[in-house]
């Protein structure tokens, strides 16, 4: 008698995204900044970015993306629950992956989202690991579902309002970033679909290469300080670029090796959208056709923790993936941190 194989899968049963309507092209930026469309496109692949209005915070985008993911699960995954309210009550964990939380220090943005969507039975926490946060968040979600038999569903959301934390006079950074959110609903199932393996890594020796220096316990604001420039991201672009190309290359190689796969087994690679040139360089090193990588950076720029779940929602809604397809998500960023998820769709 053959041995029964019991598989616990962490399947993505819904995806959603939220992108602010205000869209700023490179040409529009160039009206107030010493830059131009040609430089930005040729150095990054970015054509535009979406920017939140002054009333919109991280949780607002996260809530919209989460509701869209729940709606997808109801409409397209044949959930037993037929309304957003019913489905939200079945969510066991709300995880918000972000470096641009609603509030500095506390509360966790996930608590605000949990309340807004009516996930009354869910625990809530934030995952903060810059642009790698969603990769870490997906593994966190699956881990939290796996350790407790009573937990079945986790909402994992990447949401950022980076426009509040860039120096709009620094052309080396401000042209790169945009705002947005993406969400997935993870469900623990007895199937071979979903998150198969995650690789996580970090090299903290590069912490200074991408950092927001003001406001934390190392460099807090003190009474009487005058704030000439609001807290903003500072980056050694070249150092991060080199790290990123290696991180993408090594993560993909390690995931394939760990599962005894070849690149031909993979339908699509969904990289963090930081710079199209990083993807092109990694594709060349790995000898993978560039078309295997999904890119939407031209429209959204770098939305940090939101970039991969926004991409996943676009891909899902476009119908480009078939049930059973293997995909790899790969992220990297400040920390320096990196990671990848191998997922069976």
Site for ligand UT7 in 266-285 (CB under 6 A): 274-275, 278
Q: Exactly one of 58, 97, 131, 174 is catalytic; which is it?
A: 131
Helical H runs in the chain? 26-29, 37-44, 58-76, 84-89, 109-117, 133-146, 237-258, 276-286, 297-300, 307-318
Active site residue 131: yes
**Which sign does the torsion angle of CA 248, 251, 254, 260 carry?**
negative
Question: Which of 23, 152, 171, 214 is the binder for ligand UT7 (CB under 6 A)?
Answer: 171
Peptide bond just before 95 cis, omega within 30 deg: no
Does position 178 interact with ligand UT7 (CB under 6 A)? The reply is no
Q: Is 11 left (phi over 0), alpha (psi -120 to 50) or beta?
A: beta
Indicate whether 77 belongs to the interface with ligand UT7 (CB under 6 A): no
List C-alpha distances in Å: 120 to 13, 72, 106: 20, 20, 20
Cα-flanking dihedrals φ and ψ of residue 229, to 5°?
A: -125, 130
Instruction: Give the residue carrying structure tokens 């290359």.
Output: 249
Residue 278 DSSP SS3: helix
Among 44, 198, 303, 341, binds ligand UT7 (CB under 6 A): 44
Nearest approach in angstroms of CB 277 to ligand UT7 is: 7
Annotated catalytic residue, options 272, 275, 329, 341: 272
Which one of 13, 18, 19, 40 is in contact with ligand UT7 (CB under 6 A)? 40
- Which of 26, 68, 275, 302 is catalytic? The answer is 302
Q: Does 131 bind ligand UT7 (CB under 6 A)?
A: yes
Interaction residues for ligand UT7, span 20-39 (CB under 6 A): 35, 39
* Rounded Cα distance, 130 and 233, in Å: 11
Tell me if residue 209 is catalytic.
no
- Positions marked active-site: 131, 272, 302
Q: Which residues are near ligand UT7 by CB under 6 A? A: 35, 39-40, 43-44, 131, 171-172, 175, 237-238, 240-241, 244, 274-275, 278, 302, 304, 333
């Amino acid at each position: 008698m053959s041995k029964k194989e019991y598989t616990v899968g962490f399947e993505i049963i819904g995806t959603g995204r939220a992108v602010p309507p205000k869209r700023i092209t490179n040409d529009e930026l160039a009206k107030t900044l010493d830059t131009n469309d040609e430089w930005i496109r040729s150095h990054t692949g970015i054509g535009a970015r979406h920017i939140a209005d002054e009333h919109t915070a991280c949780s607002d985008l996260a809530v919209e993306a989460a509701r869209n993911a729940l709606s997808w699960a109801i409409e397209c995954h044949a959930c037993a629950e037929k309304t957003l309210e019913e489905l939200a009550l079945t969510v066991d964990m709300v995880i918000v992956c972000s470096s641009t939380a609603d509030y500095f220090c506390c509360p966790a943005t996930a608590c605000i989202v949990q309340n807004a969507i009516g996930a009354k039975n869910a625990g809530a926490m934030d995952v903060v690991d810059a642009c790698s946060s969603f990769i870490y968040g997906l593994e966190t979600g699956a881990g939290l579902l796996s350790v407790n038999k009573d937990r079945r569903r986790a909402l994992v959301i990447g949401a950022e309002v980076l426009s509040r934390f860039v120096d709009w006079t620094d052309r080396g950074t401000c042209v790169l970033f945009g705002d947005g959110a993406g969400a997935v609903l993870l469900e623990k199932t007895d199937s071979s679909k979903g998150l198969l393996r995650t690789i996580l890594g970090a090299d903290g020796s590069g912490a200074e290469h991408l950092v927001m220096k003001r406001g934390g316990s190392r460099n807090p604001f003190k009474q009487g300080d005058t704030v000439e420039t609001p807290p903003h991201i500072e980056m050694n672009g070249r150092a991060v670029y080199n790290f990123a190309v290696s991180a993408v290359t090594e993560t993909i190689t390690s995931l394939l090796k760990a599962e005894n796969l070849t690149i031909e087994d993979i339908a699509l690679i969904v990289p963090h959208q930081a710079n199209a040139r990083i993807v092109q360089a990694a594709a060349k090193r790995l000898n993978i056709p560039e078309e295997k990588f999904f890119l939407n950076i031209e429209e959204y720029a770098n939305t940090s923790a939101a970039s991969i779940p926004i991409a996943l929602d676009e891909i899902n809604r476009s119908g480009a993936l078939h049930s059973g397809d293997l995909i790899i998500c790969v992220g990297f960023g400040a920390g320096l941190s990196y990671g990848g998820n191998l997922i069976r769709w």
